[in-house]
Structure 1
Amino acid sequence: MRADADPDAARASVPRRVRTVRVSSVRALLGPAVAAVYLLCTPGRPDRPVMLAITAVMLAVAVGTWSAASWLARSRARVAVQAAGMVVNIAGSSALSLLDGGVASPLGALVPFTLLFYAIMMPPRMFAVASLLSAAGYGVVAVAGGPAPTGYAAVYALGIGGVAYLCFRHAAVLASLRHRLKEASRLDPLTRVLNRRGFDERLDRAVADAARTGRPLTLVLTDLDHFKAVNDRYGHQAGDDVLAWTARTMTRALRRRDVLGRLGGDEFGVLLDGAGPAEAPALVDRLRRAVRGAAPGSFGYASYPAEAATVDDLRRLADERSYADKVGRRRTVPAAPDVAHARANADRPHTGVTAGERRRRSIADMGRLAASDCAVGLVWAVALASGQPHRLAIAALCVAGLAYGGILILASDRLSRSAAARDAMVASAVFLFALAIVVPVLGGGVAGALGIGMLAPMPLVALGVPRRLALPIIAAQSVAYLVVAGAVGDPDPWYVLLHLFGMLAVAVACARQGASAAAQRRLLTRLSQTDALTGVLNRRGFADRFAAESARPGRPLGLVVFDLNGFKRVNDTAGHAAGDDLLRWVATTATAVAGPDAAVCRLGGDEFVVLLRADPAALAGRLRDALAARAPISAGVAVLGRDGTDFATLYAHADAALYREKHGARPVLQRLS
């Protein structure tokens, strides 16, 4: 079922497209705007009228695209217009560079800098086209333009090309991480099928699509027979394995286009695409047979539009039929062999996005940048700088930088998991920063072939390093560039200013891109760690919080695991809506009782866990008192170090205590000493 078939989703994407078009237009304005300032300040140099006319055309195209953003966002011509604007921008930049004197002129870097902008804003195919056009334009300028230092064009093309690729790759990785986190925020962390949020969104889209196309749709709701007894008899770990097995088994029994979601606890929902009242019974019966051993359940379904006209009507009718199925047949607790079979075949993968993964990519990208820059410098020193007095020293430094970059790439995984990762990154930055100064100085200064090496790291630093660290690094690079420009060689001041400003403009664009990606990532991370029904942590969020807290020194870390006595009867007699309302109240009350420093998590169904740096026995007592009016609980506690060294052992200890209490042998809870 295609998400983009939903008219509401299409309408919601229009403002994003408008912003994208306008941001692209603003970036397209920068090059000709800076060029226009330079041209107006240097009226005595050749070809100024023609160059001003070219900048006027480029500015007009960018302004026109910005003005027409609202229309373009809704038009099928959007891609074609933006492609035409790209061609005008690259062709105009090439012409300006050529007329200004070639690749070594103040405007000689317009095409490479334009490519860097494209690297962070274009999809792969469009960026590939932009890269080919930029290479062609820069090649024409290098061949037909004025003289340049030996190897200048080759070093610039390879150096900027490498940076552009790394920026493109980094931006693509950020987009991939955002996509994965977005998916994770809609997946149940235990079963890896859609959670309530994801299923409800898919249901709304499916009904809208069915209304548009006339294609039927059936909603199936099911909950497992006596699942509470499974937890009570075999333990919550066994119950989790049964849920994971159920999701896996139902997924295999469904057709490819159908959708499965875990709505909470032992309740699942299924969307049968293209199935009406005639087809639904056979598909539902197939699901029933697939899970009847370890997870027999009550099934109810409703079809749109034959039996229900709205999403609420679908849910209500399916829920009523599920309850009728529940009371109309004999239900039993799954036998031990069936539960054992389910546990042996449960599939519980974890595909979250971790902070370590992001650190690993950042470290590896730093190594790739060092390796690519030093490889280009080594090629220049060996093959193109026969008359350069410092070529051997430059080659030796480039070999050292190349080796260091390779070490960073190979060690990125280990460093990302090390407590010394930040120190290693700082040391690497200092070493590479020193290398980026010494090599251009030996190579003749900022206007020499290797001068670009002082500016090349800026975009990637801005894109991948936190702002509090990126700002001083880029500021230091800028100051060093100006100092070297004033001390070594005799570069044109306009060359120095335009090259520095151009790379700073690219760095600012990269920083904005990185900040936007980070903000989205934080939001999606929060969503992926939050239970959609109650607003407290889900399993994924609790696992991350436990890992962080257990690594911190301080007071002992305690767990309180509790579940509601008789919760299944609430769902069976009052309906799932009443059960959901009760769970929300329990989560809110438990959060208030536990206090702001504790972490409350809904593990699934009516089972909760609280993580705290205080006496878990005392908190368990307060929770019993606070929840007794509406939701009497059974609880167990555990303390890190005393009862186990990881969450699994702590949970097992607390779970065992919970069941002793549930079955009438209430233990004497131990207090922290």
Structure 2
Amino acid sequence: MRTDIPSALNSADGRWIATKGIAAYLVVLNLNGTIFGLIVFGAPDRWTSTQAGTFGVGVGQLVLGGLLYAAAGRLPQVVWSCLPLFMICATTFQSLLVDMRHQLGLLLLVPILYSAYYLNNRMLAATLAVAIAGNAVSMARPPLGVYASAEIVFFTIVAALVSLTVKRLRREVERLVILLARDASTDPLTGALNRRSFDEVFRAALADSVQTGRPVALVVFDVDHFKTINDTHGHAAGDRILCDVTEILRQCCRSTDYVGRLGGDEFALLMPGADSEEGAAIAERLRSGLAHGSGGGATLSVGVASAPAGGVTVAELTAAADQALYSAKRMGRNRIATFEGI
């Protein structure tokens, strides 16, 4: 039984948003090269061919950043993975042209930050290696400074510490996002999906059903005389029964099924790829398990419908399953009814 929902970043829109964010970051990153060029261009001395080359590289970096942003959603992952390496090489080349060795370390931290946050450990290691090598080459350029070796070691230590810190922060952010997403999408008592999250999964499953022709079964059920149970035995007893329902579902349904608590004692089970017959079989295992097992004698009335027979929209299939549920209640409760059988 699944009580998770697909992450927003797994959708096409989510990927586009994430990629656009990375591209915007790289536009800012490329501004470094342009700023280099503008500083050199505005220098009081004569504009040499070396300075012209620096300015050209800077403008080229800015143009590249704009193109990346414009084509963000169409570029393969390998482009985003290799860009920090290119940025480091371009910035190091500019530093060699105009001897800005003492400012290079700060500029190289920008692609390192990008790699530490967005890329995997292997690409981060490659980025660090290229950045450290580029900084060492720039610092070793004649005339050699008195503290060149110390500055190379210092940059290496700082770059490594920054990378480790950002990676750790990224993991913590991901952990918090997962916790927040879980709390926002699940019912705190039973752990089942809440109504909003269940509807999201429901719509996605039906869209897939329409596209592929695979059936989708919807099982809706509620606890018989639940208000009487609460009034007689207390709300704690009612809560235990609701938890028993989800626990028995975990034992009898498929790993690909979704369960949601729609409100009060009303639950729904979504079964992608299953028809009403399969839905009724799972419902019977749940009903008998609750009646004779940990449910303390509580019973369920269950309605089952499937797409496309019961409808191809959320409203249509829900109405069909509800109609079957009402039929089960009219027949005396503690039973299962299918939309096709009424």
TM over 0.5: yes
- The answer to whether residue 60 in structure 2 is matched with residue 57 in structure 1 is yes
Question: Aligned equivalents of 1:246 and 1:50: distance in 2?
Answer: 72
Structure 2 match to 1:27:
28
Letter paired with 2:79: V
Q: Distance in 1 between matches of 2:247 and 2:36?
A: 60
Question: Secondary structure at the residue paired with 2:185?
Answer: coil
Check the 8 A contact 1:25/1:62 in 2, yes or no.
yes
> Superposed, which structure 2 residues align to 1:167-566 within 5 Å?
167-293=166-292, 294=295, 295-329=298-332
Residue 112 of structure 1: aligned partner: 109
Aligned twin of 1:130 = 127
1:17: how far off? 4.2
Structure 1's 128 and 283: CA in aligned 2 closer, same or farther, altered over 3 A? farther
Alpha-carbon distance in structure 1 between the residues aligned to 2:121 and 2:251 = 34
Partners of 1:124 and 1:260 lie apart in 2 by 36
Deviation at 1:204, TM superposition (A): 0.7
Once the two structures are overlaid, the 10-residue window that deviates more, 247-256 or 197-206, is 247-256
CA–CA distance in structure 2, aligned partners of residues 302 and 43 of structure 1: 80
Distance 2:153 2:323 in 1: 73
| Sequence identity (%) | 29
| Structure 2 residue 85 is the aligned partner of structure 1 residue 82 | no
**Partners in 1 of 2:305 and 2:192 — Cα distance?**
21
Contact (CA 8 Å) 2:23, 2:65: kept in 1 or not? no
2:136 is equivalent to residue 160 of structure 1: no
Query: Matches of 1:116 and 1:278 in 2, distance apart?
Result: 55
Distance 2:33 2:44 in 1: 16
Secondary structure of the residue aligned to 1:204 is: helix
Alignment length, in residue pairs? 324
Alpha-carbon spacing, 1:292–1:241, altered in 2? closer, same or farther (3 Å): same
Query: Match for residue 338 of structure 2?
Result: none
Contact kept, 8 Å, 1:218 with 1:271, in 2: the verdict is yes
**C-alpha contact (below 8 Å) 2:37/2:57 kept by paired residues:** no
Residue 218 of structure 1 aligns to a residue whose secondary structure is strand
Distance 1:152 1:48 in 2: 25
Where does residue 340 of structure 2 map in the other structure? none
Name the amino acid aligned to 1:316. A
**TM-score if structure 1 supplies the norm length?**
0.44
Q: Deviations over 1:376-418 (max 9, x none)?
A: xxxxxxxxxxxxxxxxxxxxxxxxxxxxxxxxxxxxxxxxxxx
Letter in 2 for 1:200: D
Please report how far the alpha carbon of residue 242 of structure 1 lies from its aligned counterpart in structure 2 after TM superposition.
1.9
**Residue in 2 that maps onto 1:574:** none
Note closer, same or farther for the CA distance 1:93–1:257 as it changes in structure 2 (3 Å cut): same
What SS does the corresponding residue of 2:269 show, helix, strand or coil? Answer: strand
Relative to structure 1, is the Cα distance of residues 216 and 18 closer, same or farther in structure 2, using a 3 angstrom cutoff? Answer: same
Matched, 1:94 2:92: yes
Cα distance in 1 for partners of 2:246, 2:111 equals: 49
Q: Retained in 2: the 8 A contact 1:300–1:325?
A: yes
**Residue 147 of structure 1 aligns to which amino acid in structure 2?**
G
Distance across 1 between alignment mates of 2:129 and 2:300 = 59
Change in Cα spacing, 1:256 to 1:110, as seen in structure 2 (3 Å) is: same
Does 2:138 align with 1:141? yes
Aligned-partner Cα distance in 1 for 2:309–2:189: 34
Once the two structures are TM-superposed, the CA of residue 157 in structure 1 deviates from its matched residue by 1.6
For the 8 Å contact 1:102–1:108, the answer to whether it is kept is: no
Q: Which runs of 5+ in 2 are unaligned?
A: 336-342
Local SS of the residue matching 1:109: helix
- TM-score, normalised to structure 2's length? 0.83
Within 2, Cα distance between the matches of 1:247 and 1:132? 51
Q: Which runs of 5+ in 1 are unaligned?
A: 333-673
| Deviation digits for residues 214-261 of structure 1 (CA, Å, limit 9, x no counterpart) | 221101000011211221122112211221222122122111111111
Return the alpha-carbon distance in structure 1 between the equivalents of residues 198 and 126 of structure 2.
39
Q: Which runs of 4+ in 1 moved over 6 A?
A: 1-6
- The equivalent residue for 1:349 is none
Q: Is the 8 A contact 2:206 2:312 kept in 1?
A: no
Is the 1:196–1:262 Cα contact (8 Å) retained in structure 2? yes
- Separation in structure 1 between the aligned mates of residue 146 and residue 210 of structure 2, nearest angstrom: 65
One-letter amino acid matched to 1:272:
M
Q: Measure how far apart 1:266 and its partner are.
A: 0.7
For 2:120 and 2:251, how far apart are their aligned partners in 1? 34
RMSD: 3.0
Distance 1:285 1:248, change over 3 A: same
